[in-house]
Amino acid sequence: MTPTETGRHFWRDIRVQLPFLAWLVVLWMLLWSQFTVLAFLSGLVVAVFVTRVFRLPTVELSGRINIWYAALLVVQFLFAVLRGALAVTVQVFDFRRQPGAAIVAVPLRYADDLIMTHVSVVSSLVPGSLVVEADRDRQILYLHVIGVRSMEDVEKQRAGVLRWERRVVRALGAPDQYRALKADQRAARADAQGPRSPKGGVR
């Protein structure tokens, strides 16, 4: 491969992975809690370095984004961060009892690698929970969570992660993932309403 072809290949890879690079820069700024020009430039350098040195297969994006659900996801995430920070603060200063902790396994329902990554990042950035392991083959996330004292609390934490998965799928999921989610929601509503007679009454 000639130097010219190598250069074209490099810039083509950068262009194809531009959305992924942008997401890495955003994550870098979130992790450092700094939204400055310096944080942006350092995040960009790190993102390019990581994607060029630790080469992985090209990330296949879903090709779908719903602006409304994406904006709603951001608002819900910011609210969850605030609520989680307040909840952790209360637990830390509650000297009457120690906050319980547990490792919770959450089998995701619609996730591919990209959706699993999004759900992992969101779940880890919300105070009170941290993804400690991801089983890619079985699509299971393992989270360390605090404030857990009963099985009811465990199920509440698991349901919370599954809500994040649904929100991410609605905002960024592939068309087949979104259709599967909508089909499950219709089935759940039908089950909640119960079987109906031909005249429209409940049997």
* Residue 146 DSSP SS3: strand
Torsion of CA 36, 32, 56, 109, to 10 degrees: -110
Half-sphere exposure of 165 (CA within 13 A, CB side): 22
- Residue located via tokens 């079987």: 195
DSSP per position, 27-81: HHHHHHT--SHHHHHHHHHHHHHHHHHS--PPP---S---HHHHHHHHHHHHHHH
Q: What is the pLDDT of residues 54-103, one digit of tens each?
A: 655 555 555 678 889 989 999 999 999 999 999 888 888 877 777 788 99
Strand partners, 134: 141
Cβ neighbors of 183 (< 8 A, separation 6 or more) are none
Q: What is the model's pLDDT at position 202? A: 46
In which residue ranges of the chain is pLDDT below 70? 1-20, 51-63, 194-203
Rounded to whole angstroms, how far apart are CA atoms 81 and 126? Answer: 5
- What is the C-alpha to C-alpha distance for residues 101 and 148, in angstroms, rounded to an integer? 5
> What is the residue extent of each domain of the chain?
1-59, 64-193
- Strand order of the sheet with strand 101-107? 101-107, 140-146, 129-135
Report field, pTM of the whole predicted structure over 0.85 = no
* Residue 151 host element (H or E): helix 151-172
